[in-house]
Structure 1
């Protein structure tokens, strides 16, 4: 059977792969270190090829204590639990036909200097026989906040949103504030950014263009903030504060993060799924 959506899947997958390459190159130039790249193949229950990707991690750098940039394109059939969850989100026919295809790039950076903020970004496309959508966003996670850095990060994301829809930034900023909130701590995990999911306006080209804009806005949003704080002296108290904040980040990703849950439920490489966890963390 011919897949009429195949050209769009291929275009999205190629773009996520290219975005991954640009970010890895920019981070290596900033840090001076080199990413370790590990293939993350996915196989089905009978050993059949179900795609895969690359996990790229840089550890112990000058700028990054640990940063991971993952890209993948996978397909197969959702488990019964995952199908029910998708059905609850309004995906039509998924319990009767649980096939899926997903592609995306995601990154999390944990920094050496406590004055440089941790950051998360991802963009993705998801397809089932009954629906397709895009999702993604980026959020900044400082343990020591600087208003100038927060404003710069948000301004870059707002510019990307405004070029596509004047209502997107306010809508997706509010979604990020809600999504990245940690109920059991009664606080946000950082200073927010934007978050969106299930984006399907009916115009695939427009939605893909917006998702590309979000990905392209990331480096201009984050790199200047990092460069501004690299030489800021950090005390032992600053390091302690950073490690405790990382504990907060770990709690969120293990308990609430939608991508972590989906990756583990669908049998993706566990190391790649848990790449977001910090190398060191503490709890008070």
Structure 2
């Protein structure tokens, strides 16, 4: 087994294990909220990437929980796809044009986990998280992060979320957290609304220091930070009273989320342009939203 094959195997296994951990944690929240009633659980189905020639090009698992007591809709997807970049991938890969050799050898491999949670209680914040590895015969890189999207912001929740991210990034160097925080603030900005879609978090893309082990360790810690950063906020807010006014605020805020994901999100564009299951790609969209 070549080194690159082993590295891809390790990355894919890690994304799957993180998926399993998060799904179990979220189902525990639903079970605790349900009490003596039957809790809602994730529906899981396999996804496939559509190939142009009918060959196997990979897929993944789409896990979605709908209509829970805690989560109105939450999806936790994991994928491992591969093949050759064709014409339909050109838009999604426009940022990769600087990679030498892709015209002669357009093979690629990608794996990652993607999560979006939309909550029942408007006081509990929505959240997004993903981590991924992308490989070509000419280069490899990691990307990902997580960001918090409350429709009703609590400053102490924002402070906690960022503090946990910082604690997980600081062992990799003092400069990582401020750089990835600033990157998230820039990336998760909605230009046509002239505002951020949430209260930020951390984000990186095209990360390749030349040291695969160090970059993989950083990516794992981005993933490990998610549950301790997010679960305490849900536990703190999910039992608060709410009514029509709070629901209105929530639905309008979800409109911002939908606009960003459909217009600007790089992962959405890449998934659709490279033929991945559209239901899995668009899992991030809220079940209900509203525009004024």
- TM-score, length of structure 1 as denominator length: 0.97
Structure 2 counterparts to residues 24-173 of structure 1, below 5 A: 24-32=23-31, 33-80=40-87, 82-83=89-90, 86=93, 88-89=95-96, 90-173=98-181
What is the CA deviation profile of residues 97-132 of structure 1, one whole-angstrom value per residue up to 9, with x for unaligned ones?
A: 211000000100000000000000000000011100
Q: Contact 2:165–2:229 (CA<8 Å) still a contact in 1?
A: yes
**Match status 1:242 vs 2:241:** no
SS at match of 1:123: strand
8 Å contact from structure 1 (residues 83, 95) kept in 2: no
> Is contact 2:142-2:207 (8 Å) kept?
yes
Query: Equivalents in 1 of 2:235, 2:135: separation in Å?
Result: 38
What residue number does 2:36 align with?
none
1:86 deviates by 3.7
Q: Are the structure 2 counterparts of residues 199 and 234 from structure 1 closer, same or farther at C-alpha, using a change threshold of 3 Å?
A: same
Matched, 1:210 2:209: no
Q: How far does residue 84 in structure 1 lie from its aligned partner after superposition?
A: 6.8
CA distance in 2, matches of 1:117, 1:91: 38
Contact 1:28 1:35 in 2 (8 A): yes
Q: Structure 2: 5+ residue runs without aligned partners?
A: 32-39
Partner of 1:49, secondary structure, is coil
CA RMSD of aligned residues (A): 1.3
CA distance in 2, matches of 1:247, 1:229: 22
The count of corresponding residues between Structure 1 and Structure 2 is 283
Q: What is the CA-CA distance between 1:44 and the residue it aligns to?
A: 2.3
Corresponding position of 1:255:
263
Deviation for aligned residue 1:230? 1.1
Output the CA distance in 2 between the equivalents of 1:94 and 1:85.
14
Distance in structure 2 (CA, Å) of the matches to 1:258 and 1:46: 25
Name the CA distance, whole Å, in 2 between partners of 1:231 and 1:30.
Answer: 12
Shift in Å, 1:81: 5.7
Q: In the TM superposition, what whole-angstrom CA distance separates every residue of 1:226-257 from its partner, at most 9, and x where no partner exists?
A: 10001111121100000000011000000000
Query: Per-residue CA shift, 1:24-60, capped at 9, x if unaligned?
Result: 0000001122100010022422221111100000000
1:132-189: CA deviations, max 9, x gaps?
A: 0000000000000000000000001111110112101100100000000000000000
Greater relative contact order (CA < 8 Å, ≥ 6 in sequence): 2
Q: Give the match's secondary structure for 1:143.
A: coil
1:194 maps to 202
* Cross-structure match for 1:13: 12
- Higher mean C-alpha deviation, range 4-13 or range 19-28: 4-13
**269-278 or 95-104: which moved more?**
95-104
Indicate how the Cα distance of structure 1 residues 36 and 84 shifts in structure 2: closer, same or farther if over 3 A, else same: closer
Unmatched 5+ residue regions in structure 1?
Answer: none
Matched residue SS, 1:97:
coil
Alignment deviations for residues 59-96 of structure 1 (CA, whole Å, 9 cap, x no partner): 00010000000000000111236347646443222222
SS at match of 2:172: coil
Q: Compute the TM-score of the two structures, normalised by the length of structure 2.
A: 0.94
Matches of 1:241 and 1:43 in 2, distance apart? 38
